Amino acid sequence: MDKVRLQREAAFIRSSLLDQGYLDEQFIQLEELQDNDNPNFVEEVVTLFYTDSARLIYNIDQALLSNPTDFTKLDDYMHQFKGSCSSIGAKKVKNECNGFGEYCEAQNYDGCFRTFQQIKQEYINLKKKLETYFQPSYDHIYAYYLISPYDLMR
């Protein structure tokens, strides 16, 4: 494995994630908190984000299945989820959350449901891209270039 080549690919992925608005400046702030004593800080935070927010995603899914719909609860879960997205710099996912909040306020179930599917899609999409960034390998890079932003969840 050409380590230099892989590192260069990882750097390219990072730049394009930032350029294309998947990530914002908060991600850079995380990188600045990484040092020799905490060499994997960013990856740790991102991993923590995905494991912790999986719980919130599940809760929202469940709440969307409940009848009658508890919009207050939905809004509350989404507020927490959005906060976490913001904390790691997941810009695109975070922006999708705004629409959800509006539908909650309007008590529009269909709007909430549809928007949430989009949120999940962006969430998974980002996860795949970040995995490639943190663990660049030829397989990952190959897969990265094949996945378009409009690809479906696997």
Q: Tell me how far, at minimum, the Cβ of 121 lies from other proteins, in Å.
A: 21
Residue in 73, 79, 127, 128 binding other proteins, rule: CB under 8 A: 79
Does 32 engage in binding with other proteins (CB under 8 A)? yes
Give the dihedral sign, CA 105/111/116/118: negative
Does 40 engage in binding with other proteins (CB under 8 A)? no
Does 44 engage in binding with other proteins (CB under 8 A)? yes
| Cα 103 → chain centroid | 21
3-state secondary structure of 61: helix
Does 92 engage in binding with other proteins (CB under 8 A)? no
Does 70 engage in binding with other proteins (CB under 8 A)? no
Give the dihedral sign, CA 123/12/43/85: negative
Count of helices and strands (H, E) across the chain = 7, 0
- Binding footprint of other proteins on the chain (CB under 8 A): 15, 18-19, 24-26, 28-33, 38, 41, 44-45, 48-49, 52, 79-80, 82-84, 86-89
